[in-house]
Amino acid sequence: MDNYIVSARKYRPGVFSSVVGQSHVTDTLKRAILMNQLAHAFLFSGPRGVGKTTCARILAKAINCEALEESGEPCNACDSCNTFNEGKSITIHELDAASNNSVEDIRNLIEQTRYVPPSTKDGQSRHSVYIIDEVHMLSQAAFNAFLKTLEEPPPHVLFILATTEKHKILPTILSRCQKHDFRRIKVDDIAKHLEYISQSESIEYEFAALQQIALKADGALRDALSLYDQLVSYGAGKLTFKSVLQNLNILDYDYYFKAIEAMEAQDHKHLLLSLNELIELGFEAKDFMVGLTEHFRNLLVCQTPETVKLLETSEAVKKRYLDQATKMQGSFLLNAFNLCSEAEGQLRFASNPRLVVELALVKLAYLTQAISITADEAAPQKKKP
């Protein structure tokens, strides 16, 4: 039986064009390679799972590629690319700063940089590329030992530093690097990548299910791929929206849309029964309140066309939000949002969370009436003739 390879490794990009959601970085790097204007040290920073180490490896491969493409991409066919892809490269070195963070480790690294790598068969010189992952984990003394070499490395040496916590790196280190900030990947970009993998692996899927995985991953493609593998295994090669919600312990949007309709009808019975139903399904009262707060936030976002783009969800769900938001008064949504936020704060210290949520739901059911009464009381009284 063939050895199973997780999607994050099997579909790890090998060229810049296949990196998802980071074109602002990859385009800059390709131009620098083509113009032969590479810095001696790069710093890739950003959230986890967005492609920092992947881009570092592609850049290292492209620098030593013997048949670089006109677009600035590595060819993935020459001896240098092949040895790297097989994990046998002697010119590209990876160091995990989390486990190699002492002064002695950095001194060993500096000692290695003195050795010039062998030239290619046609006499072309090569670069020694050092990728240091999680560089913020280096100790203060290690950073200080690294300063001089990082500022003036040997001509054949190039450093690529990667970190999720840029603020922990010394300013003296930052000033010696060309900095590239990686962004959280958009939901649609992650969903489309999962769709490509599903089609490649002949996995049956519902696109809404892929979008839900992307939402859960919160901008990290690696997290999305891990969830994807888990859910594909559970669904025996089939991904449905319902199975994804069930496995990720996520409440269906329908509960929240129906809850808003019950509030409009001042039907507190429906709200309390819905909460009870969810608790019987295994959810906590707090889960419902957190989701309801986010739902009101999304409805507020949909009140103006300019802010609709802040809503990260599928087009079908976005349309439902827009339809419901147009029927709601801004004053109701704002007051409801504040009420839910206050209830969330109370839940942290509540001995009976369900009671807190039930009280908030009853208040929400009669919030429209309360706003109307308050407005009438605040209005100036008409003088009697």
Percent over 70 (pLDDT), the chain:
95
Using alpha carbons, list the distances in angstroms from residue 43 to 59, 81, 112, 305.
Answer: 12, 23, 20, 37
Q: What is the mean pLDDT of residues 218-230?
A: 90
Residue 11 pLDDT more than 60? Answer: yes
Cα(251)–Cα(274) distance, rounded to whole angstroms?
Answer: 12
Residue 382 placed within a domain: no
Asked whether residue 381 is domain-assigned, the answer is no
Do 278 and 364 fall within a single domain?
A: yes
C-beta atoms surrounding 175 within 10 Å: 10
Helix (H/G/I), strand (E/B), else coil: 326: helix
Most confident of 245-249, 314-318, 349-353: 349-353
Domain match, 169 and 213 both: no
Separation of alpha carbons 358 and 154, rounded Å: 67
Return the minimum-mean-pLDDT range out of 131-140, 174-183, 301-310: 301-310
Candidates 184, 192, 197, 203; CA nearest to 6 is 197
Question: For residue 125, what pLDDT is reported?
Answer: 66
- Per residue in 151-160, pLDDT tens? 888 888 999 9
pLDDT over threshold 50, residue 95:
yes
Does residue 121 have a pLDDT over 70?
no
363 pLDDT band (50/70/90 cuts)?
very high
Q: Are residues 91 and 218 in the same domain?
A: no
Rounded CA gap, 274 and 233, in Å?
A: 31
* One domain, residues 25 and 154: yes
- Displacement of CA 299 from its chain's centroid (Å): 23
CA distance 242 to 122: 58
The domain boundary, picked from 247, 266, 286, lies at 247
Bridge partners (DSSP) of residue 94 are 131
Q: Report which of residues 370 and 201 the model is more confident about.
A: 201
**287 occurs within a structural domain:** yes
The neighbouring-strand residues paired with 131 are 94, 160
Query: 109: which strand partners?
Result: none
Domain final position from 247, 267, 283: 247
pTM: 0.80
120 pLDDT more than 70 = no
Q: Are residues 286 and 231 in the same domain?
A: no
Handedness of CA 83, 85, 86, 88 (dihedral sign): positive
383 belongs to a structural domain:
no
**In the chain, how many domains are there?**
3
Among the ranges given (2-16, 109-123, 146-160), the one the predictor scored with the smallest mean pLDDT: 109-123
Q: What angle do CA 68, 69, 73 make, to 5 degrees?
A: 85
pLDDT, average across residues 187-204: 91
Last residue of some domain: 148, 181, 214? Answer: 181
Identify whether 13 is part of a domain. yes
- Number of Cα atoms under 13 Å in the Cβ half of residue 220: 12
Query: Which has the higher per-residue pLDDT, 54 or 308?
Result: 54
Q: What are phi and psi of 350, to 5 degrees?
A: -75, 135
Evaluate whether residue 385 is within a structural domain.
Answer: no
Whether pLDDT at 40 is above 60: yes
Mean pLDDT of the chain: 87
Quote the domain boundaries for residue 219.
187-247
pLDDT value at position 379? 63
